[in-house]
Amino acid sequence: MNKKILFNDGWEFAKSSLEADSTTLKFEPIDIPHDWLIYNTLNLYENSIGWYRKKFTCAKEEGKQILLCFDGVYMDSSIYVNKQFVGEWKYGYSSFEYNITDSLVDGENEILVKVVYQNPNSRWYTGAGIYRNVWLKIRDENQHIVTNGIYVTTKQEDDRWLVEIDTELVSYEDSLLTHTITYEGQVFAASKSVVKASNYVTHNVQTIFVKNPLLWSPEEPNLYKLITELYLVKSDKDSKESIEKIEYIAQNIGFRKIILDPQQGLLVNGRKMKLKGVCEHHDLGALGAAFNKTALKRRFKILKEMGVNAIRTAHNMPAPEFMDLADEMGFFVVSEAFDVWEIPKTRYDYSRFFKNWAHIDVRSWVMRDRNHPSLLMWSIGNEIYDTHANERGQELTKMLVDLVRKYDPKENGKVTIASNYMPWENAQKCADIVKVVGYNYGEKYYKRHHEEHHDWVIYGSETGAVVQSRGIYHFPREKSILADDDEQCSALGNSPTSWGAKSAESCILAERDTPFSLGQFIWTGFDYIGEPTPYHTKNSYFGQIDTATFKKDSYYIYQAAWTDYKTKPMVHIIPSYWDFNKGQMIDVGVCSNAPKIELQLNGITIGTHEFDHEHGTQLVAWWKIPYEKGELKAIAYDETGKIIATDVRKSFKDARKIRLHADKESLIANGTDLIFVEITVEDENGNIVENANNRIHVNVTGAGRLIGLDNGDSTDYDQYKGLSRRLFNGQVNGNYRVNIRTRKDLYGSNF
pLDDT, one tens digit per residue, over 327-345 is 999 999 999 999 999 999 9
- At residue 103 the predicted structure's pLDDT band, cuts being 50, 70 and 90, is very high
- Rounded to whole angstroms, the Cα distance separating 608 from 511 reads 27
Q: Residue 216 gets which letter from DSSP?
A: B
Rounded to 5 degrees, what are φ and ψ at 410?
A: -85, 0
- The mean pLDDT value for 70-78 works out to 98
- At residue 215 the predicted structure's pLDDT band, cuts being 50, 70 and 90, is very high
- The mean pLDDT value for 487-500 works out to 90
Burial class (CB within 10 angstroms; exposed 0-12, middle 13-18, buried 19+) of 22: middle
630's torsion region: left (phi>0), alpha (psi -120 to 50) or beta? left
Rounded to 5 degrees, what are φ and ψ at 337?
A: -100, -50
- The mean pLDDT value for 510-517 works out to 97
Per residue in 706-746, pLDDT (tens digit) is 999 999 999 999 999 999 999 999 999 888 765 432 222 22
pLDDT for the residue 510: 96
Rounded to 5 degrees, what are φ and ψ at 65?
A: -105, 145
Q: Is the pLDDT of residue 241 over 90?
A: no
High-pLDDT (> 70) share of the chain, %: 97
Among the listed residues 579, 588, 627, 630, the one whose alpha carbon sits nearest the alpha carbon of residue 609:
588
Strand partners, 233: 243
More confident residue, 453 or 743: 453
- Whether omega for the bond prior to residue 33 falls within 30 degrees of 0, making it cis, is yes
pLDDT for the residue 76: 98
- The mean pLDDT value for 299-306 works out to 99
pLDDT for the residue 483: 63
DSSP 62-87: TTEEEEEEES--BSSEEEEETTEEEE
The CA-based diameter of the chain, rounded to the nearest angstrom, is 99
Rounded to 5 degrees, what are φ and ψ at 655?
A: -70, 140
Per residue in 251-274, pLDDT (tens digit) is 999 999 999 999 999 999 999 999
- The mean pLDDT value for 134-151 works out to 98
Q: Is the pLDDT of residue 749 over 80?
A: no
pLDDT for the residue 701: 86
Per residue in 353-398, pLDDT (tens digit) is 999 999 999 999 999 999 999 999 999 999 999 999 999 999 999 9
- Rounded to whole angstroms, the Cα distance separating 138 from 455 reads 48
Rounded to 5 degrees, what are φ and ψ at 625?
A: -130, 125
Q: Is the pLDDT of residue 617 over 60?
A: yes
pLDDT for the residue 595: 98
- At residue 159 the predicted structure's pLDDT band, cuts being 50, 70 and 90, is confident
Per residue in 536-573, pLDDT (tens digit) is 999 999 999 999 999 999 999 999 999 999 999 999 99
Cα 737-738-740 angle, rounded to 5 deg: 165
Per residue in 456-479, pLDDT (tens digit) is 999 999 999 999 999 999 999 998
The residues, ordered by sequence, that sit 6+ positions from 482 with a Cβ below 8 Å of its Cβ are: 489, 495, 534
Name the average pLDDT for the chain: 95
- Rounded to whole angstroms, the Cα distance separating 313 from 71 reads 16
- At residue 242 the predicted structure's pLDDT band, cuts being 50, 70 and 90, is confident
pLDDT for the residue 20: 79
Quick check: pTM over 0.75?
Answer: yes
* CB 626 within 8 Å of CB 583: yes
Q: Is the pLDDT of residue 747 over 50?
A: no
Domains assigned to the chain: 3-140 (2.60.120.260), 143-253 (2.60.40.10), 260-464+498-529+551-562 (3.20.20.80), 571-650 (2.60.40.10), 657-748 (2.60.40.10)
Parallel, antiparallel, or unpaired: how do β-strands 375-382 and 414-419 relate?
parallel
Strand partners, 737: 674, 705
Q: Is the pLDDT of residue 9 over 90?
A: yes
* CB 526 within 8 Å of CB 120: no
Per residue in 565-604, pLDDT (tens digit) is 999 999 999 999 999 999 999 999 999 999 999 999 999 9
Q: Residue 550 gets which letter from DSSP?
A: P
Per residue in 11-55, pLDDT (tens digit) is 999 999 998 777 789 999 999 999 999 999 999 999 999 999 999
- Rounded to whole angstroms, the Cα distance separating 449 from 433 reads 15
- Rounded to whole angstroms, the Cα distance separating 519 from 499 reads 19
Task: Indicate which residues carry an active-site annotation.
Answer: 383, 462
The residues, ordered by sequence, that sit 6+ positions from 223 with a Cβ below 8 Å of its Cβ are: 216, 252, 253, 254, 327, 328, 373
**What's CA 691's distance to the chain center, in Å?**
30
Q: Which helix or strand (DSSP H or E) is residue 573 part of?
A: strand 571-574
Q: What b/e sequence results for 210-224 when a residue is b if at least 16 CB atoms lie within 10 Å of its CB, and e otherwise?
A: beebebbbbeebebb
High-pLDDT (> 90) share of the chain, %: 90
Per residue in 310-322, pLDDT (tens digit) is 999 999 999 999 9
